[in-house]
Structure 1
């Protein structure tokens, strides 16, 4: 980081923003007006407020930051570590949890260690049995992203000096073993836990905060909630507010804080009950992650990630047994401890990170707030070389340059010659992926050895000769099983989104059979140099050389296979019906616009021009009926909500808690019959709306079974942590 940047960033944040807005608006406007219209259109700046959006972007680019990020050391031997596959967590026996000093239960004070909340709906109230109980501790532990040696390199891909924990210097060209990174993990791992759940069998998880304990004497570095608070959100569980893990609830009830502090516990109750008791509302793959206000991104990046596959035993439709129901891939084993595992059904959590180079200056607004005094920022940190680097508040968004799967960089998965169910989850802070299945004759070559530098080093390796060899059969979106399966050549995956696909590893897409030892690469083809948006993808000017192998798949022996790939016309799960007169609801819809506040706003990221207020429901923008209603919905009601991307050349994945939605309009067009080609998942149920620059969607959603406070927010976690979140409520 330059001296100019250091001096500028030392100003108080609000003063900096005011000075930027007043002093640079004219210059920024002039700069924006010189840009060619085709470029504006391609970058999404020709939205209804395109001139403002372009000005805002130029203004923030030119005045607020000069940013520098480290280049991670090159992993020398990729694709040797086996892919970690989490086994299902074992429940706590009733004889054990009933003897806890504060056992879980439905009574007053039995929802958390503060004894000030109770569960709004106990399972018996919906005709379900008592919950299966799990225990998850939040722990400070270590994590290794690879066992390979690494070569420290600079931004040009050339060998660079490196350091150790005592700041000892190692000459350029020295191969090193990475030090483990400090993480905050569910049960100390990353990803930390897997709970295999079933509809009709409620789950209660006691999350207990032990983050203040440091038995390994680890350096916590300069990210993660500074007060060591956590707040766990089951994304997107149909859950009462006290168990939802959202800061609108936590700031006014329960802990009355951003989260639960060290020594506290909370019992989150997940009913595994479909919205309104409607089987058409059932889902199939949740994940859980931290949601502490202002530090969600930091805590998730530091490791607070878990997975929660959700099966449907009714009529055996999707029970993890490929001989029954829809016959989706999976061989179930019921374990003596009360858990169950499903073979050939694999969650894949994708996460990108950066590792410190020891020479990049650490500094952002959070340092100005004094949240990490031990770091003494702005400063370089040679002692953190090779450990995870994070910037809370980057102007261009935060993306990593090492891509990992289930916490491991460049892992290997050996598969049998049969069909698999792969559950994709994007748990990155901001990165969007686009995956293809490819073969390569030459195999992976490091980007540095191919002559790339700068942002082109992201992903570290390429298969420039890669060719698509297989297709995906997509069977789910965020909101569970699709109405009908989709055949996909590639699959976009936005932050927080899930997609489940079936892959037949017995044959290639041209019909030729696979053979033992064949190698296939799950490959990212979306180039995203920063957290704003992609620069290249299949939808926008694809780069034929940007093919980054993320997971090596090796074909093994043939195995028995009773599963089936459903045909394109085979119904999986019907959608809940839309009212025939839904268009008549348009005038009274709620309208929420996500926008950047850099043209004079007090906070960088806003919704409807306002930063997140954890105490009050946000007012809608004026709708066509001329009203600005508060974001409050009656229990049992349904409504249309519009989500707008205010421009600026950013993409925004906007997540709404509590119930899934169905997209009815995108950019003013009815998509209930013919989805937008760029967003085929609009034909399904989702919990996160993918908004390209300048786009808007109108969604239909319900508000059933619970009352109380919830939130909606951008799931680019740097945006969420800096006020791009709004409070809303379900009222009695």
Structure 2
């Protein structure tokens, strides 16, 4: 079974006849792209946008501890936290308890119309159950049983210890996707985290099963103790090897904004005065809103499920209207329904003031380009059977964004954007001023008024997971409706204005980039490594022995001619010594969002263009701090990587290394071996490989 192969890969041992295990179960057809046509949502923009509630601290039972065997209850007697907050002069952590539970979720409350691929109405295969014209709930794996899960407000200088407890029951879910035995690993994306809390396959290759818990310690400590390494918006998600995409798609997504008490405290009266007002009643920071964007497909009951888990060519009419997933999508996974915070076509009422929006692309493969548009007619257009389902045909840009942060935290300077592109796993933070529209042709800008409607619109057409399609000016899919309300007389917007009274934008200084010498002389002294992302297919042209092929399950997606093996790192680096890594997309016409664990990086060069200290961020924030490289077809980047904090001196003294991974965050690629392991040693210099 696929699960047996997973176990073999994780332990790096194999028993049995590899020639039998590596046979394709579908006659070579397991990678065929067969996607359903989701039911058409008849009444968009009739439900409010849900905003995750920040989690409250709570005491843990049994209490957390730092002794051997105390990091989890999975029987690992040596499981322990490698570093304690006191080791870096920090206080004891706030403690949180998150239960992984089966829940039930609907992307819309609207009535729907079953349709075929051409948009024509059809009778659903489960007509007897389709009595009120609405979707059945889909079963999910959720942090506390919800999608998205709860939000944790992190704060620099105050660690957080999160107990993730597995209460999943795989027998209660529809479809056969997600880790088959309900296993999980949780990764805090872009967290500067010790290996045992990082949620990667090195520390716990078999994951945590139902009935088990693990305490992940998030130090909320900037790499190297450098204030300029502070970040602002992380997220946590499942990272169980081989099933990351399935578990994330099933619902294991949570948000982790992280505040800095000096520059960005979550209160617009202090620091940089970014939009945000603490609300004592809800615990939220008002006017600071996370927006997790996620696409999905719903089962039409007639599309075959072709993969290891449900046989070859099976249809499941009993799953009509529930989330549909493919384990082996040849072109990545893109759905035809776009959701924001778990809902399709939601509505957000905003006041006439400035807002901070934290965007996350939580999709499996999809890339978005987002802008703010207004419709003169106020009419939407049906686009049945297409990706997005509805269009805003006469939509025109009406507002601009002011970007203040990327996935690496606050930018050195705020930047004006007409629209922005966001790739899977990446984050962007932008301020929108809802008091005025952007300047018109006459150089003036009009005030907004209560009742005005604008839309957040996606204009990036992406028919499959390979890459966004060529520009289609008619493709304008509204994904969020924004209704403007007056600002009550009792409220004041105290955030720093992004436009002056005349509507002019002036860039603001935010957080300087870390001071790094990128001269040729300095870089020449560092270890250099190269990694190429490749499209394999079968054995990828490699002469692999059968055992190697089985242990790695497949070789569709490779890095340096190799599929992922948990016990064979591609790089050994040394703590405290930076390196230069060259990463090339050699995989044909595919895009690859390449993510690196442990510490964010800086791009030195992209496609031959060097970092420029005079304009360090550039038109697409490409030279800011980041954790995920957006690699288009044939693109190549050179990045500066550092390796700090881990392993500890105590670990290094006994030869213990800190093991991490890097991988494509198109999760269909990651789950099919486009990942490599690397480790940090603490007692000798690494060599160039």
TM-score bracket for the superposition, by shorter chain length: 0.7 to 0.9
1:265 to 209, 213, 218: 213
Displacement of 1:600: 2.8
2:79 to 92, 110, 117: 117
The yes-or-no answer on 1:145 pairing with 2:107 is: yes
What runs of 5+ residues in structure 2 fail to find an aligned partner? 1-18, 440-444, 499-504, 543-553, 648-657, 683-689
Counterpart Cα distance in 1 of 2:533 and 2:556: 11
2:144 to 170, 187, 200: 187
Greater displacement, 570-579 / 411-420: 570-579
Counterpart Cα distance in 1 of 2:607 and 2:338: 33
Please show how residues 359-370 of structure 1 align to structure 2 within 5 Å.
359-364=302-307, 367=308
Partner of 2:187: 233
8 A Cα contact 2:355 2:432, kept in partner: yes
What SS does structure 2 have at the residue aligned with 1:615?
Answer: coil
Please show how residues 693-732 of structure 1 align to structure 2 within 5 Å.
693-707=633-647, 708-732=658-682
Counterpart Cα distance in 2 of 1:694 and 1:674: 27
Counterpart Cα distance in 2 of 1:195 and 1:514: 33
Partner of 1:70: 36
Partner of 2:387: 458
Counterpart Cα distance in 1 of 2:331 and 2:635: 20
Partner of 1:474: 403
8 A Cα contact 1:591 1:641, kept in partner: yes
Partner of 1:198: 155
The yes-or-no answer on 1:434 pairing with 2:366 is: no
The yes-or-no answer on 1:352 pairing with 2:284 is: no
Partner of 1:343: 286
8 A Cα contact 2:101 2:167, kept in partner: yes
Please show how residues 550-569 of structure 1 align to structure 2 within 5 Å.
550-559=479-488, 560-566=492-498, 568-569=506-507
8 A Cα contact 2:174 2:319, kept in partner: no
Greater displacement, 71-80 / 581-590: 581-590
Counterpart Cα distance in 1 of 2:165 and 2:670: 24
Please show how residues 13-412 of structure 1 align to structure 2 within 5 Å.
66-93=32-59, 97=60, 100=61, 102-113=62-73, 114=75, 115-164=77-126, 168=128, 176-212=133-169, 218-251=172-205, 257=206, 259-314=207-262, 317-334=263-280, 340-364=283-307, 367=308, 372=309, 375=310, 377-412=312-347
TM-score scaled to structure 1, two decimals? Answer: 0.82
Partner of 1:5: none
Counterpart Cα distance in 1 of 2:533 and 2:290: 31
Per the alignment, do residues 583 and 520 of structure 1 end up closer, same or farther by CA in structure 2, a change over 3 Å counting? farther
Partner of 2:519: 581
Displacement of 1:376: 5.3
8 A Cα contact 1:194 1:307, kept in partner: yes
Counterpart Cα distance in 1 of 2:157 and 2:376: 49
What runs of 5+ residues in structure 1 fail to find an aligned partner? 1-10, 21-62, 252-256, 537-541, 619-630
8 A Cα contact 2:30 2:328, kept in partner: no
What SS does structure 1 have at the residue aligned with 2:334?
Answer: coil
Counterpart Cα distance in 2 of 1:448 and 1:334: 43
Cα distance per residue 1:257-292 (max 9 Å; x no partner): 1x1111110000000000011000000000000000
Partner of 1:56: none
1:615 to 533, 546, 567: 567
Displacement of 1:679: 6.5
8 A Cα contact 1:590 1:642, kept in partner: yes
Greater displacement, 64-73 / 292-301: 64-73
Q: How many residues align?
A: 623
Per the alignment, do residues 719 and 66 of structure 1 end up closer, same or farther by CA in structure 2, a change over 3 Å counting? closer
The yes-or-no answer on 1:487 pairing with 2:416 is: yes
Counterpart Cα distance in 1 of 2:23 and 2:301: 31
What SS does structure 1 have at the residue aligned with 2:642?
Answer: strand
More helix, by proportion: 1
8 A Cα contact 1:163 1:169, kept in partner: no
Counterpart Cα distance in 2 of 1:244 and 1:344: 31
Cα distance per residue 1:133-153 (max 9 Å; x no partner): 000000011011111000011
What SS does structure 1 have at the residue aligned with 2:35?
Answer: coil
